[in-house]
Amino acid sequence: MDGNKDDALKCLKIGKEALESGDRARALKFVAKARRLDPNLPVDDLLSKIEGQSESQPESTNGGEGPAPDRSGPAQPDQQRPSVRHRGPSAGSSSSSSSSSAAAYTEEQIAIVRQIKKKKDLYEILGVERSCTVEDVRKAYRKLSLKVHPDKNKAPGAEEAFKAVSKAFQCLSDEGSRKKYDVTGSDEPVHMARAARRGPAQGFNGFYEAEFDADEIFRNFFFGGMHPATTTQYRGFSFGAGMGQRQADNASSGFNLRMLIQLLPVILILLLNFLPSSDPIYSLSRSYPYEYKYTTQRGVNYYVKSTSKFDQDYPPDSYERARLEVKIDRDYISILAQNCRVEMQRRQWGFIKEMPHCDMLQKFEGVA
């Protein structure tokens, strides 16, 4: 109950301030709320004063039904108060609705909505240059989407402006879509081909709404990286976390995966050579405990653990030594070939110009 009393006093204070500023609808609302929270508050006289002022204006233009009450006169009799209170909330409710409607959005919000809806070019909608980076597009979208989101901006046309901003971000944040837009100058969305098969869709600013959800783009942008077990509330929306990343990130991930698959054989061979195993006889690189160097007939260097044991097991000029060195030559050629294939692929992509492993392979095969 103490909490209700505190809230009632706060509401009463707000109501008095509203009455002093001339906002009778707001004053009536908060004084009535204060009375509901604490029926013992002495607010009857204040309510009568507010309701009397609210009633005086409509009755002054009632077409001659009666003279307007004198505000400076004495308070109305008690038997007239029920009538006044019955009509007062109606007038106050109308004023409150009008006041709330007027305060729902600002001139700045109306201006930004009109500005976005007048523009056709995607770059102009986001306010970025054609030479901008993906990060510039992301920053512009982050700024504009929060200004025109329908939950925050109640101005007429805010939803269309929000969709226009989201559509521009969807196109310009994807490398493929952006290149197509720069070349063709078309402001069609990414999924226009599929939309065309289903028939025309209602559009705005040259955009089509087929297979497009502006709220989904908004949720993915602001909450895409969250843990999948959490859910976030934002301005009335419930956003499930753990959504996928944008198309540009997916393209980058796919590229890295292809590179990893192509390099996997080389990685496996290197692991077999460097990682501990069932005590291999030799190593193509010098590392502890393979510190003693030998060279095959074709000039391939290899290393063993102990010269005495190696010479005992594989005597010089013996069949065992020759067979082992043939195997060493094959392993060396296999590694060079794998590295050469990787270098050729990277050169084709324009990452490198020189191919040292391919040169070494060609030189080694020439010696043979």
pLDDT digits (tens, 9 = 90+) for 118-131: 998 999 999 999 88
Domain housing 91: 2-102
What is the rounded CA–CA span in Å between residue 78 and residue 44? 11
Burial 196-211 (b: 16+ CB within 10 A, else e): eeeeeeebebebbbbe
Same domain, 71 and 116: no
Enumerate residues 6+ apart whose C-beta is below 8 A from 332.
284, 300, 364
**Average pLDDT of the chain to the nearest whole number:** 74
pLDDT score, position 223: 63
Torsion sign, CA atoms 215, 217, 218, 224: positive
β-pair partners for 239: 232
pLDDT digits (tens, 9 = 90+) for 342-355: 999 888 888 888 99
Number of domains in the chain: 3
User: Where is pLDDT greater, at 23 or 133?
Assistant: 133
Range with the poorest average pLDDT among 14-18, 251-255, 292-296: 251-255
Same domain, 141 and 167: yes
Question: Does residue 323 surpass a pLDDT of 60?
Answer: yes
pLDDT score, position 241: 42
Residue 339 pLDDT class (50, 70, 90 cuts): very high
Question: Does residue 73 surpass a pLDDT of 70?
Answer: no
Q: What is the pTM of this model?
A: 0.32
User: Where is pLDDT greater, at 173 or 367?
Assistant: 173
Same domain, 271 and 350: yes
β-pair partners for 287: 290
Same domain, 72 and 143: no
Q: What is the CATH number of the domain that holds 174?
A: 1.10.287.110
Q: Which of 159, 185, 212 is the last residue of a domain?
A: 212
Highest mean pLDDT among 59-73, 256-270, 285-299: 285-299
pLDDT score, position 70: 44
User: Where is pLDDT greater, at 69 or 57?
Assistant: 57
